Structure 1
Amino acid sequence: MAALARSVEQLTVAAASPPAALMPVLSPSPSEKLAERAIEAAERAEAAANAAMAVSSAAAAEKAVEAERAAAVERAAVAERESASQRAAAAEREVAVERAAAAERVAAAEREAAAHAAEREAAVQRAAAAEQAAVAEREAAVQRVVAVERAAAAEHAAAARQAAAAERA
């Protein structure tokens, strides 16, 4: 910045100084020389002021550009944070949906397992009842056979007693 200001000042001073070829042949009077010097000094001062204003304007413009750049960076950072926040919220929603679906699948599997367990228990109960009925049927058959055998034995004994009584008589 300082180098730019010096370059502008040097160019301004060089532009304000007239070339030697344009100087009048007759020498000016001391008051004219003083007036010329005062005019030249005023012109140099004006040029320096203009250069300083240009440098100041350039610095202000550079500051404004830097401020705008910083504001743009901040806006981008805010947008990125908001975007990240939105992505995180979307991810949380997806996780919640997945958890709910997984919970539903687990509940369905538990219901199905409970139904299968109830079905197995009912089958075991039916098998036990059938086994008890078969045992009762076997016992009843055995009882019938025993009763038939007893009746046959009693009949045989009665016949034997009758035959013995008939022999005695």
Structure 2
Amino acid sequence: MRASLLLALLIISVWATAAPPAARPGVVLDHQTSSASSASGACGGSAVRVSGLESSSQARTFIGPQGSIKIMGATTLTIGPEAHGNSGIFLQDRNELHCLSTGKGQMLLLAMHCDGRSCPIVDYRVVDPKAARVISAQSAMDECDLPCAEKALGVSVPKALRN
């Protein structure tokens, strides 16, 4: 009994001193500045603005479904709710946007996470920021899965953006 009490105290002390989960940024851009609800920066030399940032209890930041993403390259591409978006892309429940270095130059990867409605668990869009256009080839269902995103990027999708 004494040994089990000591073991329980040890477990509690280890649990109490464990570090909180590391914050996971939902937006990663070059020269990024952020506030509680927005971020701006660059990718591939183009300006990028994001609104609608939210935080979860797991120290994760993401773009909410009512957020918007504006990419200002050769033209302007806006991703967001209905009237605010010219891309035809609707954000899902939790969305992440990362600027990635690839063999084709810097690309934006948008990972859209669905929380259980009739949509894929993770749907991707790869955006060429210089041209401000989507370069991933969506399926007939307007979806881009992991192989689709990796084909458009020419590199592997980072593990942090897979789930």
TM-score by length of 2: 0.17
Which structure is larger by alpha-carbon Rg, 1 or 2? Answer: 1
More strand by share: 2
Higher relative contact order (CA 8 A, sep 6+): 1
TM-score by length of 1: 0.17
More helix by share: 1
